[in-house]
Amino acid sequence: MAPQLDSYFKQVDKLSEAFIELPSGLRKAVAIPSISAEPERRPDVVKMGQFLVSELQALGAEVRARPLGPQPGKPELELPPVITARYGSSPDKRTVLVYGHYDVQPAAKEDGWASQPFDLTIDEKGRMFGRGATDDKGPVLGWLNAIQAHREAGVELPVNLLMCFEGMEEYGSEGLEDFIHAECKAGGFYEHVDAVCISDNYWLGTEKPCLTYGLRGCNYYAVTVSGPGQDLHSGVFGGSAQEPMTDLVRVLGSLVDTHGRIQIPGLQEMVAPVTEEEKKLYPSIAYSMDNLYESLGSRTSIFDDKESTLMARWRYPSLSVHGIEGGFSGSGAKTVIPAKVVGKFSIRTVPNMESDRVDQRVFEHVRKVFDGLGSKNTMDVELMHAGPWWVASPQHWNFAAASKAVESVFKVKPDFTREGGSIPITITFEQATGKNVLLLPMGSSTDAAHSINEKLDRSNYIEGIKLLGAYLHYAAEEPMS
């Protein structure tokens, strides 16, 4: 164990109730409905940022709320500020930059919550329910709590800690990418950084911590098929007019088969081969098919074994059809022929798939399939948005430090995992700083982030605070080799 961690851990336990309850614990943070997607809640997002500023100032940090200007497309709305902070500035210490976000997803009791989403509710199992508890207010406060526990334990923080907390992550992180690149240049607030750590993801299961070293990217597309000048009655025009919905369904059906195999030529050839070193990481990962079946609520998996399932989720591309805009989707029966329909689908990309080449192959395939229909309707396919994949080296000293921290707190070696989703800001930090980025989760797979009844287990929160502090100690002393 790194020096002085024992006294730090004891102080975290001593302060555990204060870290949860009022006046400045997680309960206070959850009570602020900082929903970035709802314009009427923008003052609450700003209020949450101000809460962090006051808490950081009380801890003795150098802190600023940095304005980002008007929101693109909504000039009447100011973007929430980025909270930048520094704790320690010794030239003899390494500098670690940590990121989190203080905005949350929309939530309302009538959505199906068992409790009020902005009133932290703790049950007999220590599950703390509330919007933002795990995504991402718990981890953000975890960094502040780690500073406080060090101060009150009389233990010096072993690194210079730089912080970046944003208020628009749940709405695309608008304005942040340019800000990060600017602040990582010469003279910027984040100019001198040795490593980056993000705590905004989750354990693979519920029992064993993990360190995440890879994320899939996402290219999201829309296929529009148009024909008649207006919606038609099927009893009058059915059989006499070529129908956009029929064409669209046939195009969407050509993209992927029942077993998840992408049918677009040339995409699979872009995927980097799996190395023998990488294969060795999968057998020891704490995950079972029963975990998958529980998450699915059924046994409708494509594969029957763990390794193939995890590789399909993390390591290989996937294509998902998400919906059709313009068609009848309500209950009951409506005999309408829609004049225009838009199909939405996305491809989760992996190394070494280049976004431009993926787009080219997608467009070629969709146009070829549509042309083959011989339809008189018109079709257009476009990329709606794209985010790149990201992979770091789990052998980097930053990951070695985090691994030792996990062992010191949980007495077990962590799993090294990838994730099938995307956190675009991860690659932004990597590119802007030129340093290794580590994903160090606090919450577990059952936390229901973005869903109803979001929660963070009390044990994950308190032990997670210990983990964040321990990571800083090991990051301070791990050989940079």
The conformational region for residue 4 under phi > 0 = left, psi -120 to 50 = alpha, else beta, is: left
Alpha helices in 40-196 (DSSP H): 42-58, 138-153, 176-183
Which residue, 197, 177, 163, 170, is CA-closest to 45? 170
Orientation of helix 458-477 relative to helix 5-14, angle to 10°? 160
C-alpha dihedral (264, 269, 270, 274), degrees to nearest 10: 130
Which token pair is 94?
Answer: 């390494």
Distance of CA 160 to the CA centre of its chain: 26
Which token pair is 413?
Answer: 């070696």
Q: How far apart are the first and last CA of the chain?
A: 20
Instruction: Count how many Cα atoms sit within 13 Å of the Cα of residue 121 in the half-sphere of its side chain.
Output: 14
How far apart, in Å, are the Cα atoms of 76 and each of 29, 71, 73, 339? 26, 8, 9, 35
**Alpha-carbon gap, residue 334 to 234, rounded angstroms:** 9
For residue 477, the surrounding DSSP H or E stretch is helix 458-477
**Alpha-carbon gap, residue 154 to 405, rounded angstroms:** 20
467 Cβ contact list (under 8 Å, min separation 6) = 209, 405, 406, 409, 410, 440, 442
Burial of 7 (C-beta count, 10 Å sphere; 0-12/13-18/19+): middle
Q: Which residue type is seen at 236?
A: V
Distance of CA 6 to the CA centre of its chain: 32
**Alpha-carbon gap, residue 77 to 73, rounded angstroms:** 9
> Is residue 103 among the annotated active site residues?
yes
According to DSSP, residue 392 is labeled: -
Which token pair is 428?
Answer: 């932004």
Catalytic residue among 135, 136, 166, 169: 169
Is there a contact between 290 and 307 (Cβ–Cβ < 8 Å)? no
Catalytic residue among 44, 103, 183, 194: 103
Peptide bond into 67 cis (omega under 30): no
Cα angle: 115, vertex 420, 399; to 5 degrees? 95
* Enzyme catalytic residues: 103, 169
